Structure 1
Amino acid sequence: MPVPGGRGRGVVAVVEGPAIVERDARHTLGIRVRTPFRGMLAVRDALLAELHEWLTGRGVEHGAAFFRLHVVDMAGVMDVEVGVTTPTAHGGDDRVGPGTLPAGRYASLTHVDHARRANRALVEWIAGTGLVPDRADTPEGDAFGCRYEMYLTDPRTERMKTKWRVRLDIRLRDG
């Protein structure tokens, strides 16, 4: 279903949502880095390949890959993480670390193609419904309690990013 991509910038092919959903906490393994916004997706792609090689080399069972935005500063440096969900907690090493996608209420939207438009559409939906994202203004940028893109299509088997099904989740503040 197409929805406006925000401020007159085309449409987004929405598969599901936007909606408020409850998510359970999930164990993760990931690589967290700081990188400029410009070129960030190339960094994401390289880290995804590195992480999958690490997981395969250790035989770690895992679920879908995600791209988490810890701190957003589109004019500066982003604090991001590429990871996967795991059924149980795992130790990491000096490069790949364990973590958690925390439980809570999330604004969620699943889309195909146009990631920036989809993100904008979800952020504007949150604001338009009077919900409040779990975020704080910091000197580094917008720090999120939990904001990520979950890749429902495996990037290793579908090279065309315009065909990926991606679920966006932004945790909401309680109350």
Structure 2
Amino acid sequence: MTTLTTPRFEQRPEQPCMFIRTEVAMGEIGTKVVPLIPQLFAWLQAHGVPPVGPLFFRYNVIDMAGLMEIDVGTIVEKPAAGDARVQSGRIAAGSYVTMRHTGHPDELMPATGYLLAWGQQHDVAWRKHPRGKAEVWDGRYEFYLDGPDTEPDMSKWRTDLVFAAEPR
């Protein structure tokens, strides 16, 4: 059974990260984005860069009918230089709305819809701007607190939805 926490504003510090960026259609996330996870962690291990935070997907560009730009990443204590495949970067400090989803990852789309509707009801100014039919976000994250290595039952997986926002 899916559970959602009440969305709340929080100030988050800047955090260094390493990530792989890709562009995919919405229907390709499972087949083209998920396989990047072991590639990222293999690169980190090969370069002596231990993760110190959870795996995340950062949705830079949302275009449900076109291509989405997504980063597969993790927080690190000290980023490496990166290369053509794996990049170093940061999660920007600032104000975010956070909500925890507990349930199967397939249920994240309706959970995201709930969070966006909550934001509209509470007059939240999401930090994003349009680019054609797409939305470009300053920070829209799914932090995966669980995975197959920590919880075999996917219906118990915890994911924090963390969206850059300001109260109006």
TM-score (norm 2): 0.90
- 1:61 is aligned to 2:39: no
- 1:143 and 2:136 correspond: yes
Q: Distance in 1 between matches of 2:57 and 2:97?
A: 16
2:3 is paired with a residue of what secondary structure? strand
Does 2:62 align with 1:72? yes
CA RMSD, 1 decimal: 1.8
Amino acid at match of 1:141: A
Equivalences for residues 1-175 of structure 1 within 5 A: 12-14=2-4, 16-62=5-51, 63-113=53-103, 114-139=107-132, 141-158=134-151, 160-173=153-166
Distance 2:150 2:162 in 1: 23
User: In the superposition, relative to structure 1, how do residues 160 and 26 fare at CA in structure 2: closer, same or farther (>3 Å)?
Assistant: same
- Matched residues, number: 164
| Alignment partner, residue 8 of structure 1 | none
- Alpha-carbon distance in structure 2 between the residues aligned to 1:75 and 1:161: 28
SS of the counterpart of 2:126?
A: coil
For residues 90 and 96 of structure 1, what CA distance do their matches in structure 2 show? 9
1:7 alignment partner in structure 2: none
Counterpart residue type for residue 67 of structure 1: F
Task: Classify the secondary structure of the residue corresponding to 1:95.
Answer: coil
* TM norm structure 1: 0.86
Identity %: 28
Residue aligned with 1:74, SS: coil
List alignment gaps of at least 5 residues for structure 2.
Answer: none
Q: Is the 8 A contact 2:124 2:167 kept in 1?
A: no
